[in-house]
């Protein structure tokens, strides 16, 4: 096993508020999630989307799906953080975040199930998980 040729302190990002709390927060590239999806993720992530939903699906009203909103928000926040790492940040973003969340989002049984770019948003095709009330005192 070889030793890392770069000293550990050189890997630390001096502008990272976690490493250096006195540093002012970084400016976001995208002002909000909508701008990120429309300007960065949508044009970048090109895949054939089936209108019949047999392989991949997408909803033009993705913001009406709670799970999709959460996953896309996580992708945006991770992008804003990792883009500052000029070494491997975007590679980590693709590998750890995009490659994880996008297959789930676009899956025909995923949170956008039933919708399509051609037909648009379909209301009420998928519901959340049903739960029964727990025994009294279980979470006290």
What whole-number distance in Å separates Cα of residue 93 and Cα of residue 75?
Answer: 8
Distance (Å, whole) CA 28 – CA 36: 10
Q: Which of 50, 32, 30, 33 is CA-nearest to residue 112?
A: 50
Confidence of residue 111 (pLDDT cuts 50, 70, 90): very high
Which is higher by pLDDT, 27 or 97? 97
- Quote the CA–CA distance of 8 and 116 in Å, as a whole number: 48
pLDDT in tens, 72-93: 999 999 999 999 999 999 999 9
Q: Residue 91: helix, strand or coil by DSSP?
A: helix
Model confidence band, residue 58 (pLDDT cutoffs 50, 70, 90)? very high
- What is the four-CA torsion angle of 133, 135, 139, 140, rounded to 10 degrees? 130
**Structure confidence at residue 69 as a pLDDT band (50, 70, 90):** very high
- Domain residue spans of the chain: 49-118
Q: What would you measure as the largest C-alpha separation in the chain, in angstroms?
A: 58
Note the pLDDT of residue 7. Answer: 44
Return the percentage of the chain with pLDDT > 90, whole number: 56
**DSSP character for 131?**
-
Choice between 60 and 2, residue whose per-residue pLDDT is larger = 60
Position 125 scores a pLDDT of 65
């Amino acid at each position: 096993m070889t030793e890392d040729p770069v000293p550990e302190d050189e890997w630390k990002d001096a502008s990272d508020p976690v490493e250096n709390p006195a540093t002012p927060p970084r400016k976001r590239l995208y002002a909000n999630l909508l701008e990120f999806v429309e300007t960065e993720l949508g044009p970048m992530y090109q895949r054939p989307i089936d209108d019949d939903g047999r392989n991949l699906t997408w909803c033009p009203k993705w913001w009406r799906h709670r799970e999709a909103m959460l996953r896309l928000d996580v992708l945006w926040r991770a992008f804003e953080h990792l883009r500052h790492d000029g070494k491997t940040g975007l590679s980590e973003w693709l590998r750890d975040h995009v490659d994880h969340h996008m297959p789930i989002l676009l899956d025909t049984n995923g949170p956008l199930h039933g919708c399509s770019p051609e037909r648009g948003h379909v209301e009420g095709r998928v519901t959340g998980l049903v739960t029964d009330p727990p025994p009294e005192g279980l979470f006290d």
